[in-house]
A and B are shown apart, each in its own frame.
Chain A
Amino acid sequence: MSVFGAVLLIVVGWLVVLPLGAVLLGAFRPSGLLLDPGLTLDNVRRVYFNSEIWSLAWTTARFALGSTFVGLIVGALFAWMIERTDVPLAGFFRGAFIAQMAVPPFLLAMGWTILLSPRSGLLNAIGAQVFGPGFTPFNIYSITGMIFVEGIALAPSAFLLLGPAFRNLDPNMEEAARMSGAGSLEVFRKVTLPLLAPALLGATIFLTIVSFVVFDVPGILGMPSRIWVLSSRIYSLAHESPNGLPDYGAISAIAMMFILALLIAAYIYQKIIRGSSRYVTVTGKSFRHRRTALGAWRLPVALLGSVYLFVCICLPILMVVLASLQPFMMRPSAAALTNLSLQNYAQIFGDAHIVRAMVNSFVIAGVTSFGVLVIAFACSWAISRSQLPGIVRRILDVFTLIPLAIPGIILGTALIYLYLALGFLGIYGTIWIIVIAHTTNYLSFGVRSINSVLSQMHPELEEAALVAGSDRANAVRAIIVPLAAPALVATWFWVFSHSIRELTQALMLQSVGNATLTTTLFGYWSSGEPNKAAAVGISLFAVVLLAVLAWAAATLRFRK
């Protein structure tokens, strides 16, 4: 086996397998820490012979399935509207829906608390004024509120996953069914739905995995009212345990069950994605799009779409913008509007700590995105093109998929164990531990997205260079890299924008010297300074928006 293969195995093993092993083994250590002596089943017994774990699992499942359902419905409705009907301004709707990806979920959650918190929420206050005091039906600090906000946050991903399936649906198949005498409802049930089934199923599992492990929304909306899901519970065990010491043993024991469930889900997801290629409808074959004529419903449908975008996305962000311009939280009024100033921004940009956090965020996102790009490209090429032994390629394929199933919060914990144990490396407590966490986290996305590009590239393009006198390295440099460049750039932007807005792991791995913009924001928010938090959030949003726009531009260029 070549040096190249060995290096890749070591890098990927170090990033993925080592932390996973640290968590699983930690469950059987009395202290929960990898290198501490002793073996015990106490942690497992403590966690699993306790009704709390089962109510935790139940709440997490309800939250995950609920938000998946909401996200899927919204995403599918928009996919249908944009790809399959003659709705006006379809291009605008598509752009607006994809641009939502720039909105960090915690920003959305902050906006909704301003709108819907039980006592001070704007909408609740309006309700109380109209219907009399005591009318406060909307409580955002509830499982319903969490599902609602997470569902909105998942909708763009659902749209991106479902859009191509809706777009590539060959209308001939539906027309053939109509010609065979089926009514429109029957066509939908017997033809359209089965054709969309793989994409729907794949999107469902993907969104469920994501919402199973997400921390932002449960952290901001669930924790204040002590509604625990997996991720927020682990956070509280690490930061708020009664004796002041993180309960690593319990964390490991909880993590075991979730990792197992998620690995199974990821495995099924992979199977479905592979299997869906059997549906020949999604080929490169060109056909003319036949769109459903909405007739009299054209304007109402467009209006409904606009209202959703305004109320569910723009309004909460507007609230945060407004909050960022106020010295303290005020209900919108003429008086409040005269009080607007850039004072919060001046304050945070003048604070050396926050400037430091900003630099940290940029360094972390910059190094992570380059790291992911290099490692993912090497893995992707090794998996799909190299002559490494089949077993090595399969191992790389599986290892790079695993991070998708490791919740950020558990990976964060794992890295704490690992780099506390490997203290001599001096990584614990620095920004580099966050870089490692993010690199592992986004490796799955990087490998999958580069895989899809490499698999579209005919192997003969590379072989032609080999026969023409290039060695492997030169063939990759002269042929593959230039051809894949637009996709590589797009991947880089995606990872950059996700890394810079990532909260969960940065929070878990937070220490004195490695604060980031997101941990600073979370700090302000949880210590009762929402206006400063809002200013940090909006600054971050601006950066992410720029990165997402660049990403979209790169993706569009690549499609051409």
Chain B
Amino acid sequence: MNMPSEEMLRVNDITLSYRVGDIDMPVLNGVSFTVEPGELFTLLGPSGCGKTSTLRSVAGLETPTSGEITIGGETVYSSSRKVQLAPNRRRLAMVFQSYAIWPHMTVAENVAFPLRRMRVDPPDRRRRVDEALGMVGLAGEGQRSATLLSGGQQQRVALARALVSNPRMILLDEPLSNLDAKLREQMRGEIRDLQRRSGTTAVFVTHDQAEALAMSDRIAVMDKGNIVEMGNPETLYLRPRKKFTAQFLGQALILPIDGLEQGSGTLQLRTRIGVVEALADTRVKNVAWMAARPEHLTVAVPGAQIPGGIPARVVRAQFTGSTIDLELDAGGVLFAAVARNDRKFAPGDEVTVSFDPSNIILLES
């Protein structure tokens, strides 16, 4: 592979706005990130956060208002240097949300299309199409009409079509959102495996936090046209620094901090439901909020006491099999907790909840 520069993709301060009537609607407000070769990088956020616009700007299907994008060291977009490389000259591949399988072609014709554009000669083309179909588990299905495929199969054809040309990078725009739950989980693993095996760099767009956590090397959490926070899945889930990240990734009890006392390596946080102890986190500057994941709370069975625990009342208890999901009320604050499945809880039970100081998340204002 040809990689003159260290990073595969550099997106530098791109902005994008649409003109609706007389008003400029900002979509991207200066988005910057880099993606390393072989990495699976995810843009995660709620709908309308700008993640798809960012991906389409990288593909060249959308023209940003300003900024710069380089792929493998080659500038493909630059507002200052007036560069705007057409999508077909960026040597990328893309898997679309609707799969965009061309209904007037067979499976093999769909997959062969990028190779035809690259003027690969027929014997070589056939070999590579077969290879790609084999990779996605559709060996021997090449002559089928593309319209007769199921959703999952269309998804595989789209993947084969993307991988067949050995692109510099593969862009995936919510590729799993049209599949049913079971298939989605299966394809999650398959896409990740394919990407690892082929060593292709991938940029993935999704609004599904579980998908992002399970598949990504790194995640950029986006909101309202900005990247809120970037990092690997573990850090973003366990040690987010922004309230938006803590809220969007998984469940969390989030409380404003009313006062704070420094101890030796610990902090005493005064909150609406009582004083909570946390380990100091030097990365976080102005601590304004604390967050705790349901699975990090310890709930004592009714009657039992935990020293330093916070009293709460059970609002709802749901047996899910592997766990008991609890909804608790502490001084008017409702929050979720998870208890072991061999305990017994009923609505109205008075319980105590204790927090593990090492898992208390401190959030910046």
Query: Does residue A179 face the partner (Cβ distance < 8 Å to B)?
Result: no
* Contact between chains at B98 and A467 (CB < 8 Å): no
Asked if B102 and A461 make an inter-chain contact with CB atoms under 8 angstroms apart, the answer reads yes
Whether A384 sits at the interface, judged by CB under 8 Å, is no
Tell me, in angstroms, the Cα distance from A469 to B117 when the chains sit together: 6
Distance (whole angstroms) from the CB of B242 to the closest CB of chain A: 32
Contact across chains for B100 and A460 when beta carbons are under 8 A apart: yes
Q: Does more than half of chain A's interface fall in helix, strand or loop, or is it mixed?
A: helix
> Which of A387, A458, A469, A482 is close to B100, meaning CB atoms less than 8 Å apart?
A458
- A463 B19 Cβ-Cβ under 8 A: no
* B103 interface hit (Cβ, 8 Å): yes
Residues of A within 8 A of B63 (CB): 387
- CA A474 – CA B114 in complex, angstroms? 12
A385 CB to nearest B CB, Å: 12
Q: Please give, as numbers and ranges, the residues of chain A lying within 8 Å of B113 by CB-CB distance.
A: 465, 468-470, 478
A466, A468, A471, A474 pick with most chain B CB within 10 angstroms: A468
Q: Is the CB of A470 within 8 A of B100?
A: no
Structural contact, B104 and A467, CB atoms closer than 8 A: no
* B161 CB-CB contact with A under 8 Å: yes
Task: Please provide the chain B residues from 63 to 99 with a CB less than 8 Å away from any CB of chain A in the complex.
Answer: 63, 86-88, 90-94, 96-98
| Contact between chains at A469 and B97 (CB < 8 Å) | no
Complex: A314 Cα to B260 Cα, angstroms: 94
Interface size, A (range)? 20 to 34
**Residue among B59, B90, B113, B118 with most chain A CB within 10 A:** B113
Q: Contact at B94–A467, with CB atoms within 8 Å?
A: yes
Chain B residues within an 8 Å CB radius of A479: 102
B25 to chain A, nearest CB (A): 13
Nearest B residue to A478 via CB reads B113
Enumerate B144-197 residues with CB–CB distance to A below 8 Å.
161, 165, 171
The contact of A469 among B61, B102, B118, B171, by CB within 8 Å, is B118
What's the Cα separation between A466 and B61 when bound, in Å?
A: 8
Q: If the complex has contacts A458-B100, A469-B88, are A464 and B117 also in contact, measured as CB distance less than 8 A?
A: no
A463 contacts B96, C-beta separation under 8 Å: yes
A472 to B100: give the CA distance in the assembly, Å.
Answer: 16
Which residues 228-248 of B have a CB within 8 angstroms of A?
A: none
Interface residues of A in 459-505 (CB under 8 A from B): 460-461, 463-472, 474, 478-479, 482-483
Q: Do the beta carbons of B97 and A460 come within 8 Å of each other? A: yes
B61 close to A463 (CB less than 8 A): yes
Name B's interface SS.
loop
Contact B96 A464 (CB under 8 A): yes
Query: Which residue of the partner chain B has the closest CB to A390?
Result: B19
- From A390, A466, A468, give the contact of B165 (CB < 8 A): A468
Give the top 4 A-B pairs by smallest Cβ distance, nearest first: A469-B117, A464-B100, A460-B100, A468-B114
Taking a contact as CB atoms under 8 Å apart, the answer to whether A469 and B114 are in contact is yes
Contact in complex: B61, A467 (CB < 8 Å): yes
Bound state CA distance, A469 and B171, in angstroms? 14
15 pairs, CB–CB < 8 Å, chain A vs chain B: A460-B96, A463-B59, A463-B61, A463-B96, A466-B86, A467-B93, A467-B171, A468-B117, A468-B161, A468-B165, A469-B91, A470-B88, A472-B86, A479-B102, A483-B103
Assuming the contacts A390-B19, A483-B104, asked whether A470 and B117 have C-beta atoms less than 8 A apart, the reply is: yes
- When chains A and B are docked, how far (Å) is the Cα of A215 from the Cα of B91? 58
Q: Residue of A at shortest CB range from B170?
A: A467
Contacts of B91 in A (CB 8 A): 469
For B94, list chain A residues within 8 Å (CB).
463-464, 467
Determine the distance from Cα of A216 to Cα of B315 in the docked complex, in whole angstroms: 79
For A461, A464, A474, A478, the residue with the greatest tally of chain B CB atoms inside 10 Å of its CB is A464
| Residues in A neighbouring B96, C-beta threshold 8 A | 460, 463-464
Nearest residue (CB) in A for B117 is: A469
Compute how far the CA of A467 lies from the CA of B94 in the bound complex, rounded to whole angstroms.
7
